[in-house]
């Protein structure tokens, strides 16, 4: 399963300029976030109505996401709320904690998205990924980059406009290459310094200005591991709202197998055989834990194990 890969949400871009009117129509459901965590129940997204009291503490105007079955979908952020029993795990790479607002149903809690993404339907995952990325963009882009004035949310949350110089700013998506680099029966994996013990994944990095995807794959792999890469092919992509990336999955053929890591970039890199990757997927490998289920790294490795990549 490739999380956040899309379910055909009707985003209705032509209605974004009418979001205030749509909000007042009564045919509205709202997805609520706290500190980047969506409000979830055992079945997926827990929506609230536009008149729910919890929205009185929203950080800004709601974001218009689109519509389905005659109902308009919005997202709101209530990060101003402070739980009485705030966990030290909030904000950590692994955050299993749940936060329950006293004004919301007992069945619902704010849960970290990485911990819950595989339980979501394609529709819920697309809604959450879209909303989370847009809300994070608003949080980090509150001031006009042209004149420095505090900008204002516009077009249902899909723009910010500067009241001083009239500049318009639009949500950004950061392209990231993530690569399945193979050499014979082996695949190249690495780990970041802050990852949990034993967690390895495919190498990845941001595409730089003026750079092709293929060039980014070759540069990132050589920078991080010292391995030179020849042919590169595109496989699949995945929106990754941590905070607003598009993961571009590629296959590359290594021209060498000698590893010389950059210790600033990564903590470790190594070649792992198909048999070892299979063991890691079943939890039987003594050192390597698998890439997170639902991630494009896990997806690419599954395809490789099944010999479904040319």
pLDDT tens sequence across 24-78: 998 999 999 999 999 999 999 999 999 999 999 998 999 999 999 999 999 999 9
Q: Provide the residue count of the chain.
A: 310
Complete domains list, the chain, with CATH: 13-139 (3.90.79), 141-171 (no CATH), 174-305 (3.90.79.10)
Per DSSP, the three-state class of 180 is strand
What pLDDT is attached to residue 33? 98
Is the distance from CB of 45 to CB of 38 less than 8 angstroms? Answer: yes
Which residue do the tokens 């949310």 mark? 153
Which residue do the tokens 């600033």 mark? 264
pLDDT tens sequence across 247-306: 999 999 999 999 999 999 999 999 999 999 999 999 999 999 988 899 999 999 999 999
Mean pLDDT of the chain: 95
**Alpha-carbon span 33 to 261, nearest angstrom:** 38
pTM above the 0.85 mark?
yes
Is the distance from CB of 250 to CB of 231 less than 8 angstroms? Answer: no
Q: Which residues pair with 109 in a beta bridge?
A: 40
């Amino acid at each position: 399963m490739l999380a956040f890969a899309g379910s055909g949400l009707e985003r209705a871009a032509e209605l974004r300029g009418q979001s205030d009117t749509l909000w007042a129509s009564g045919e509205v459901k709202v997805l609520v976030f706290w500190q980047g965590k969506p409000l979830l129940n055992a079945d997926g997204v827990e929506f609230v109505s536009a008149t729910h009291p919890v929205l009185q503490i929203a950080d800004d105007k709601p974001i218009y996401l689109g519509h389905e079955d005659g109902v308009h979908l919005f997202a709101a952020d209530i990060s101003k709320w402070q739980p009485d029993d705030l966990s030290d795990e909030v904000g950590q790479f692994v955050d299993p904690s749940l936060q329950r607002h006293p004004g919301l149903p007992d069945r619902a809690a704010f849960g970290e998205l990485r911990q819950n993404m595989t339980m979501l339907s394609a529709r819920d995952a697309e809604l959450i990924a879209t909303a989370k990325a847009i809300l994070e963009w608003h949080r980090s882009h509150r001031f006009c980059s042209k004149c420095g004035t505090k900008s204002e949310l516009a077009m249902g949350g899909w723009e910010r406009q500067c009241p001083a110089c009239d500049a318009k700013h639009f949500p950004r998506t950061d392209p990231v290459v993530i690569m399945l680099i193979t050499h014979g029966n082996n695949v190249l994996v690495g780990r970041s310094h802050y990852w949990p013990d034993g967690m390895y994944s495919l190498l990845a990095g941001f595409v730089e200005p003026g750079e092709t995807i293929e060039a980014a794959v070759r540069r990132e792999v050589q920078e991080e591991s010292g391995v030179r890469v020849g042919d590169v092919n595109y496989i699949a992509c995945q929106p990754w709202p941590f905070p607003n990336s598009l993961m571009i999955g590629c296959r590359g053929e290594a021209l060498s197998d000698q590893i010389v890591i950059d210790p600033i970039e990564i903590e470790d890199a190594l070649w792992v055989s198909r048999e070892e990757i299979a063991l890691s997927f079943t939890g039987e490998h003594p050192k390597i834990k698998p890439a997170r289920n639902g991630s494009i790294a896990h997806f690419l490795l599954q395809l490789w194990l099944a010999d479904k990549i040319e």
